A and B are shown apart, each in its own frame.
Chain A
Amino acid sequence: MLKALLTFMLDKNKAADIFGKIKKYSSADEVEALIYGGHSALTRFANNTIHQNVTEANYVVSVRTAFDGRTARATTNKVDDESLKRVVAASETLAKVQHPDADLLPMPEAGGGARSTQTYPVPSRYFEATAAITPEQRAEAVSKIVGVAQKHKLTTAGIFSTSESVEGIFNSRGLGDWYSQTSSEVSVTMLAADSSGWQKANSPNVAHLDAVTLAEIAARKAFESAGPHEIPAGKYTVILEPAAVLDIVGFMFFDFGGLAILDQRSFLNNRVGTKLFGENINIWDDVAHPLQSGAPFDGEGVRRQRVQLVENGVVKRLVYARATAEKMRKSEYKEKVGRIEPTGHGFSIPNEMGEAPMNIVFGGAREPKTVEQMIGSTERGILVTRLWYIREVDPYEKILTGMTRDGTFFVQDGKIRHGVRNFRFNQSLIHMLSSVEEMGTPMRASGEESFDMVVPAMKVGEFNFTEVTKF
């Protein structure tokens, strides 16, 4: 009984039954339901001890109703008949008191709204081995990480998490789509007296995670950066490992939505079609990429397109929800923003943000370099493992501030010389992506400030460090 209760997963047929009830209970012109949830577990360790160890099962039904240009959403995590009636009524009540909005579109029909331009199908991202991981297996992996820490006389902290999740969308025009996937993640920090190192990786398939190797790399960074020197702030050549790249570039992708341009809140205002970055920068949004993850449909159920956002440094295209594409076609910007069409990147309606690309894939260099090769070609520079607490200082010049963390090294004459005290940077993303001298092979990377992406390590000239902290 215990096992059955804890491994229950909602499937498309059960979700369709729930939607059938929602339709029956609704008097709206149109109705839509997002149904999502699953199981997740996370084993957390610090001071070489598992100190937090959690699991959660939760499913959510989110109902949107629409009446003649008026729409609203209500959400519950209960699927009994009374709760479904209550959530439908709540959505309808919120919708009915509004003034009609002439821009509200009818809900999309199945297969409507966007052309499929994926060059290959979305691969299966559900792995039984990941779904079946037990608390004992997570503890066993953590035990091995702690073993690495103890071998090197270090202290470790981190997580090992696994989950299986489902996500579906149904509407009264017959659209119904469903997606399931598993996820697993290991993040390891190794702490020495006055230094630290960090590594993180994730995959739908837990077999692809190598916790011990991650722990060994983090440990090496910790003891190699011991006794950090203070060197002055200033402009340096930096070698950013992929996690550092992703955390900083992630701050620009919400500006690649069409609504951000219409709202005039994007750093791409008046810049679409211009060469904003270096010739070597190419960026796509591609949910079907083998190293990507996530559902192949957006918040309205429109299938996600593969969109080239940046080509040889030129901002080529934006992504669009259906309503944004309609507005853009009628706007003063319509001739200046490239191709306008729904691309399957809209957030669930209603929302104020419109859309954003969330499956970012960077192109690699013609001659990719390893981090070691980048170090070898650097006369004087800084190797950055990880960035932290990044925030936007200037929204149009895209100046970002933040700190280095958990493994920052001085590089001279092609070799790592020693660890350094951590820097604060204030760096324009535009300048950074115009100053990329070398790149690695794009890989799936995960940080803490942005969503996961497929990005390369980068060697960047004239990176702007403005202050040094005390460790």
Chain B
Amino acid sequence: MTENSDAGTVFRSKRYTSWPSMTEDIDAGNLHAAFILAPLAMQMARQGKTPVKIVHLGHRDGTAMIVPTDSPYQTFADLRGKRIAIPHRYSNQRILIEKLKAEFGFKDDDVRLIDYPPPEMPAGLLAGNFDAYIVGEPFAAKAEMEGFGRVLYLTKDIWPNFISCVLIVTQDLIDNDPEVVQELVTGITASGKWLDEGDERLLAGLVMQDAASETTREQGLVEVPNEFGRTPRMQAAIIAAQRRYYNQNPELLKFVLTKPVDRVKYTELDLAREEFAEIQHWADKLGFFDLRPVTPEDPFGFEDYCDPRFERARIPDMPLQEVEQ
């Protein structure tokens, strides 16, 4: 799966700095697999410029609504008349806000939504550019860790099993190389299962700090600090913090993955028809498909944007090390 496994495809991580550059690269034919906002994926599938299919989820939950620590806000109702920052107009975070507005009986202009770049959100909140923000981790945890923000809601409390980003692949890739899609999907399922249910065996390519030596350094093994411990989540924090993946502070990822542990979930990643129907319903209502409206003559449904066939295969084993090095 990665350079550290000894067989199969090497999946290279390419970290983008904005959604448009990612979708442009997909349309240009440079890119065939991506984790992307769920409604944006639907919108791409609907536009049909480049046929894409959602084949799996990457995680569930992992989004939080943050308000200033010293603010009086206790529920969404207190945000009437306020400004809320969202990551993208085609994000499921926006749909979540719309759902809350309906639930709390807000009129359309009772809150103002502002498109804001996620990395800037903590600073924006501190500067008072808006009164609350909703975003995927680690940019919610950042404000919490720094102390000036507190969680108003974790998605698990308001929309359990929330879907933020989904794995899409191009129809081209499905047609030309279904095996590699299969390998990717089962690989993600396996990693998710290991993250949520794995034991304390280390993943290949890692070594605990106290067992590290000149030789392990020469082999390029990644060291896990002793105080992190060896649970799968802490191993994952160290791996993901690396430059070729998230390139983030390991402490921040540790916070995201453990406070509380069900802040982000990595199981139940299979595509569920009803959940996508709900997202699609809202996306339609908010006009995400205005360029090609959904009508009885030109319908749009689960099969048009999802392809769950790759989820039925046997899950491979993770490349784990023997109990003690």
A and B associate: no
| Interface residue ranges, B against A (CB under 8 Å) | none
